[in-house]
Amino acid sequence: METETRGRVRVERGAKRVRAVFAGKVVADTTRPLLVWEVPYFPAYYFPREDVDSASLEPTGATRRSPSRGEGVLSTLKAGGKTAEDAATEYPDSPIAALRDHVRFEWDVMDAWFEEDEEVYTHPRDPHTRVDILPSSRNVRVEVGGVVVADSGNPRLLFETGLPTRYYLPKTDVRLDLLVRSDKVTHCPYKGSAEYWSVNTGGEVVADLAWSYRTPLPESERVAGLIAFTDELVDVYVDGALQERPKTKFA
């Protein structure tokens, strides 16, 4: 896989067919996408200009400069009577040669994104990220402010590249009477949509501390219906040993 790096930005040639849909219309369709790590956590997709519906793009004359990618030329996206201002960016004179003659779309502006024929959510899947979910007989106990909110000898351990181990526990091993359903929902391109609960121990309420994937994506079916906690904010004991709280961008 070809790689080009400048500063913190890394560019690789992707192998999947990628499509972007706006106002019910496919405005970009390529088998030659670029994966561009503009931030360390996940990539963005860039489309070759010839694989983009040029009639949907209307240059605005505005620009947006990136220290690593250069001067970005902005276009408004128009299709099916729908308009999204400054939704497309091109870097025609980028110091990163691979980005020239490519178009980047704002992810949340699009109606849908597809990798091959499967819809993908939140951001492109990182080809260097792997998710392993393994059954375990280790005892996992979760405490919030000294109160035991979960205690299980049948956890599922989720190992995701670059992230701390997450402990998914059967609901029968969780103090459901301490959980208060939240309106929060998050999306993961590897696991799907997560629903959340706050934890009320009587002394305090900690918002959005627990989550579950009711109907996860196929590669993460092993955690369906199980509950995990934000280990950055709780005390987790594994086989009686208190674990160090991880430090991540999630808390």
- CATH of segment(s) 3-119: 2.170.150.40
Domain coordinates in residue numbering, the chain: 3-119, 131-242
Candidates 142, 100, 147, 125; CA nearest to 41 is 125
Question: With 80 as the cut, is the pLDDT of residue 251 above it?
Answer: no
pLDDT of residue 203: 77
> What is the average pLDDT across 155-175?
96
Question: With 70 as the cut, is the pLDDT of residue 74 above it?
Answer: yes
pTM of the model as a whole: 0.84
More confident residue, 2 or 43: 43
For 251, the 3-state DSSP assignment is: coil
pLDDT-derived band at 115 (thresholds 50, 70, 90) equals: very high
Question: With 80 as the cut, is the pLDDT of residue 241 above it?
Answer: yes
> What is the average pLDDT across 37-55?
94
Question: With 70 as the cut, is the pLDDT of residue 228 above it?
Answer: yes
For 117, the 3-state DSSP assignment is: coil
pLDDT of residue 41: 86
Indicate if 131-242 has the same CATH topology as 3-119.
yes
pLDDT-derived band at 2 (thresholds 50, 70, 90) equals: low
Candidates 67, 68, 61, 59; CA nearest to 103 is 59
pLDDT-derived band at 72 (thresholds 50, 70, 90) equals: very high
> pLDDT digits over 190-226, tens only?
999 999 999 999 878 999 999 999 999 999 999 999 9
Question: With 60 as the cut, is the pLDDT of residue 143 above it?
Answer: yes
- Token code pair at residue 208: 């959005």
Residue 111: alpha-carbon gap to chain centroid: 17
Q: How many residues does the chain have?
A: 251
Sequence-ordered list of residues with C-beta below 8 angstroms from that of 48, at least 6 positions apart, any chain: 30, 32, 101, 102, 103
pLDDT-derived band at 120 (thresholds 50, 70, 90) equals: very high
pLDDT over 90 percentage in the chain: 90
Candidates 108, 28, 99, 33; CA nearest to 68 is 99
**CATH T-level topology, domain 131-242:** 2.170.150
Mean pLDDT of the residues in the chain: 94
pLDDT over 70 percentage in the chain: 98
> What is the average pLDDT across 14-25?
96
Question: With 50 as the cut, is the pLDDT of residue 1 above it?
Answer: no
